[in-house]
């Protein structure tokens, strides 16, 4: 491990959670669509929370201390995320690539079959941007879990020039946490059926982002982001 990476990890360990918590608390935050999610959890339904990689700034704070199992990449970036959320009550599972993913899959299925919830970065860890991976569909059809789209949009934000167009809200900006409608997936789908559902769910997640962003678009059609 390089000296720079050690510094990054030490900084995340000491400052990561307090900084993200402070940042999120500065936002003028609204929450939409949460009732359906709460109803699912009260009913004991297993849930797969789905978010695009570019919108993962808020979930570590929003879903803290709910005993959720997030799937985190074993990459160096994933290591920083795992260090950030460790201590916020997550059941962290690392998985990417064939061998590690097989092991992670066992734990994800076990968690859902016990009525728990997992969090999946739907196009991660390497994209392409907003192209849904099959994992969440496969989990749902094998376990009966409900898919729950999630997004986060800010009136003022920075958008990075990364593959995922990663977004960070400006401190003190207006922002919204938006839950989509729960999505039921039929049990026992074959490969063709899963691909049809993959395409359907991908469109739903893309539209959720579009609708969340549109609330901050000015009448002129220009977005206030990055100002």
Report the alpha-carbon distance of residue 122 to residue 15 in Å, rounded: 27
The predicted structure's pLDDT at residue 15:
87
- The string of DSSP codes covering 109-144 is HHHHHTT-EEEEETTTTT--TT---SHHHHHHHHH-
Is the residue at 219 inside a domain? no
Residue 106 placed within a domain? yes
pTM over 0.85: yes
pLDDT in tens, 102-141: 889 999 999 999 999 999 999 988 899 999 999 999 999 9
pLDDT of residue 224: 45
Q: Which residues of the chain have pLDDT under 70?
A: 1, 3-5, 8, 96-100, 218-227
Contact 65, 156 (CB under 8 A): no
Take residue 202 and report the two structure tokens written for it. Answer: 């991908």
The domain of 105 spans: 3-214
CB 151 within 8 A of CB 178: yes
The CA-based dihedral angle spanning residues 134, 135, 140, 145, taken in that order and rounded to the nearest 10 degrees: -140
Quick check: is 221 in a domain?
Answer: no
Helices marked H in 27-132 — which ranges? 34-42, 59-62, 76-85, 98-113
User: Domain holding 169: CATH number?
Assistant: 3.40.1130.10
Does residue 220 belong to any structural domain of this protein?
no
32-59 confidence digits (pLDDT tens)? 999 999 999 999 999 999 999 999 999 9
Q: Is residue 225 part of a domain?
A: no
Per-residue model confidence (pLDDT) at position 126: 87
- For residue 190, is it within any domain? yes
DSSP state letter for 67: -
The count of domains in the chain is 1
Cis peptide before 156 (omega within 30 of 0): no
Q: Supply the pLDDT for residue 221.
A: 41
pLDDT at 172 (0 to 100): 98
CA distance 35 to 27: 21
Domain membership flag for residue 223: no
Residue 182, domain member (yes or no): yes
pLDDT at 53: 94
């Amino acid at each position: 491990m390089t000296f720079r990476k050690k510094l990054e990890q030490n900084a995340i360990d000491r400052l990561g959670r307090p900084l993200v918590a402070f940042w999120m608390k500065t936002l003028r935050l609204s929450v939409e669509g949460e009732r359906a999610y709460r109803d699912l959890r009260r009913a004991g339904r297993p849930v797969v929370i789905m978010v695009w990689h570019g919108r993962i700034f808020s979930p570590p704070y929003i879903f803290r201390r709910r005993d959720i199992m997030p799937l985190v990449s074993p990459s160096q970036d994933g290591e920083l995320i795992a260090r950030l959320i460790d201590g916020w009550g997550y059941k962290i599972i690392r998985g990417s690539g064939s061998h590690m993913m097989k092991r992670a899959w066992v734990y994800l299925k076990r968690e859902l079959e016990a009525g728990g919830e997992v969090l999946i970065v739907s196009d991660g860890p390497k994209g392409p941007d907003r192209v849904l991976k099959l994992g969440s569909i496969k989990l749902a059809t094998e376990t009966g879990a409900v898919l729950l789209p999630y997004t986060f949009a800010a009136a003022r934000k920075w958008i990075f020039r990364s593959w995922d167009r990663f977004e960070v809200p400006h401190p003190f900006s207006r922002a919204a946490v938006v839950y989509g409608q729960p999505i039921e997936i039929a049990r026992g789908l074959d490969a063709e059926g899963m691909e049809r559902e993959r395409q359907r769910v991908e469109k739903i997640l893309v539209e959720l982002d579009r609708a969340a962003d549109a609330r901050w678009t000015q009448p002129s059609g220009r977005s206030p982001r990055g100002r």
